[in-house]
């Protein structure tokens, strides 16, 4: 099994399980991860997903080079089909997932591994984690979306320094430029990811999904179009139980116990 799953309560932890290969992303691993994300989306008991790697050396060292080389040897059409479309499909799925995905970076996040971190809405890293875009050393640009997402997240010049040099950066630098949310000791990594997940999933799932969609879909749009995305996301939550319960709790705290949202609206 190339992806291990551990479902406890409302939290699902998925572990890339090719530790002997530094959790390199071969095609079966990518396909298995996509299948697990499909399963998690359909399971209403899952409110958040933590994604990490087996062993202490790597989250993922990137694309599996033998698989990649075989696809490239088949020419551009095969390479686009097997590498780019599959890689784009994975990172787009992570980026657009309707439940929060938190990457717990437990070591190297190189190439495709770094691109998963870029696509995820949240990430925490162990102190020994390192991040790199080494595709240029193989003669091509990042093929899993990294040439587009990284500049959007950390700025053009910072992204190009990583992409054009291929040099790794430490976890502290990744936090400084906004690639990860926090850096913690390795022993505390999964605990920190679970704590972050708990701070999110305490809120109504409908609100969490609406926030994820508003930010992800609006991020790169002109402001007027982005505000329309925000308005649509807000409108979708108005009739939900999450809004009714949230407003009632607020009003109760303000000394209006027994006053329902419906009563307030009628006032």
Distance CA 2, CA 224 (A): 43
Catalytic residue among 36, 95, 118, 135: 135
The CA-atom distances, in angstroms, between 101 and each of 14, 75, 218, 224 are 10, 34, 18, 28
Tell me the Ramachandran region of residue 184: left when phi exceeds 0, alpha when psi lies from -120 to 50, beta otherwise: beta
Element (H, E) at 5: strand 3-8
Strands 122-126 and 101-105 turn out to be parallel
Out of 36, 115, 176, 230, the active site residue is 115
Residue 176 a catalytic site member: no
Structure tokens at 11: 């939290």
Does 230 participate in catalysis according to the annotation?
A: no
Torsions phi, psi for 5 (to 5 deg): -125, 140
DSSP labels, 23-92? T-B-HHHHHHHHHHHHHHHH-TT--EEEEEESSSSEEE--B-HHHHHHHHHT-HHHHIIIIIHHHHHHHH
Residue 91 CA to residue 105 CA, distance in Å, equals 16
Please tell me the distance from the alpha carbon of residue 127 to that of residue 187, in angstroms, as a whole number.
10
Q: Which long-range contacts (CB under 8 A, 24 or more apart) does 225-230 make?
A: none
Task: Supply the residues annotated as catalytic.
Answer: 115, 135
């Amino acid at each position: 099994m190339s992806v291990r799953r551990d479902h406890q309560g409302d939290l699902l932890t998925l572990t890339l399980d090719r530790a002997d290969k530094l959790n390199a992303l071969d095609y079966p691993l990518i396909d298995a991860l996509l299948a697990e994300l499909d399963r998690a989306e359909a399971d209403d008991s899952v409110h958040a997903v933590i994604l990490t790697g087996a062993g202490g050396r790597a989250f993922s060292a990137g694309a599996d080079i033998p698989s990649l080389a075989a696809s490239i040897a088949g020419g551009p059409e095969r390479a686009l089909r097997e590498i780019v479309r599959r890689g784009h499909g994975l990172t787009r799925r992570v980026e657009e997932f309707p439940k929060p995905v938190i990457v717990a970076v437990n070591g190297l996040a190189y190439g495709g591994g770094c691109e998963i971190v870029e696509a995820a809405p949240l990430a925490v890293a162990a102190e020994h984690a390192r991040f790199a875009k080494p595709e240029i050393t193989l003669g091509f640009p990042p093929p899993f979306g990294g040439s587009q997402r990284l500049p959007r997240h950390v700025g053009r010049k910072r992204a190009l320094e990583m992409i054009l040099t291929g040099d790794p950066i430490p976890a502290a630098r990744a936090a400084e430029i906004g690639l990860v949310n926090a850096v913690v000791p390795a022993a505390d990594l999964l605990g920190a990811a679970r704590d972050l997940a708990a701070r999110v999933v305490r809120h109504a799932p409908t609100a969490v999904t609406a926030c994820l969609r508003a930010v992800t879909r609006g991020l790169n749009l002109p402001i007027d179009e982005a505000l329309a995305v925000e308005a649509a996301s807000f409108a979708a939550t108005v009739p939900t139980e999450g809004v009714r319960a949230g407003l009632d709790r607020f009003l109760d705290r303000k000394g209006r116990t027994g006053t329902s949202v419906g009563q307030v609206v009628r006032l």
